[in-house]
Chains A and B, each alone.
Chain A
Amino acid sequence: KQEVTQIPAALSVPEGENLVLNCSFTDSAIYNLQWFRQDPGKGLTSLLLIQSSQREQTSGRLNASLDKSSGRSTLYIAASQPGDSATYLCAVRSNDYKLSFGAGTTVTVRA
């Protein structure tokens, strides 16, 4: 069974600082890994998807890396803004179709 862990559980930074969010998974046989953002009381917004053959994926201020052999992914958010405050979820798709989620990292960016 795939286990996904996200560290830290919560993070508070001043505006402008770079954010580093960590995700680890136990089974390296994955199809892909997805990072999501969830605002309070809302659904999930897909941020980035990294296929198993990729090492990283970038979108604007977001960059996600994947080291499949060590079971790790890192989401970097550059020059954080108060609007980046949310819970960030990592989800791994193993050799089937369902996503296994971490518990999330709740980010607060202080103005």
Chain B
Amino acid sequence: GAGVSQSPSNKVTEKGKDVELRCDPISGHTALYWYRQSLGQGLEFLIYFQGNSAPDKSGLPSDRFSAERTGGSVSTLTIQRTQQEDSAVYLCASSFLAMSSYNEQFFGPGTRLTVL
């Protein structure tokens, strides 16, 4: 596609429910990244995919967070048993190559998650 797309754009859920956030990267981009932007925390890295594998999951806040990528394209970030502190904007980015000095990351519009 023309850019990185994310869905839904907004999600309101009740504490304790599970949510799934979707990211569709730019066609041909092999690397995909998830970040979280929350008030007072700024932008923080969550997880990175190269193809379908995730070499670095170190940024995931807890074991309630998981992500997968299929077909080297679409990725889903799942948050189980949501808590109020999970409220944030979840941003997805993609790049052509990860391990390259010229590695420009392009970001989607984000999903704003609100946990009541």
Contacts and interface: CB of A to CB of B under 8 A. Distances in A.
Interface of A: 31-32, 34, 36, 41-46, 49, 51-53, 89, 91, 93, 96-104
A67 to B, nearest CB: 17
Interface residues of chain B: helix, strand, loop or mixed (majority): strand
A102 B43 CA distance: 8
A40 to B, nearest CB: 11
Contact of B104 (A34, A42, A89): A34
B56 A32 contact: no
A9 to B, nearest CB: 12
Contact of A49 (B44, B104, B108): B104
A41 B9 CA distance: 10
B105 interface: yes
A32 B99 CA distance: 11
A41 to B, nearest CB: 8
Contacts of A100: 45
Interface of B: 4, 6, 31, 33, 35, 42-45, 48, 56, 59, 91, 93, 98-99, 101-110, 112
B99 A97 contact: yes
B103 A31 contact: yes
B91 A98 contact: no
Nearest to A97: B98
20 contacts: A32-B101, A34-B104, A36-B107, A42-B110, A43-B4, A43-B107, A43-B109, A45-B107, A46-B104, A46-B106, A49-B102, A49-B104, A51-B101, A93-B103, A96-B56, A97-B31, A97-B99, A98-B56, A99-B33, A99-B43
A32 B31 CA distance: 16
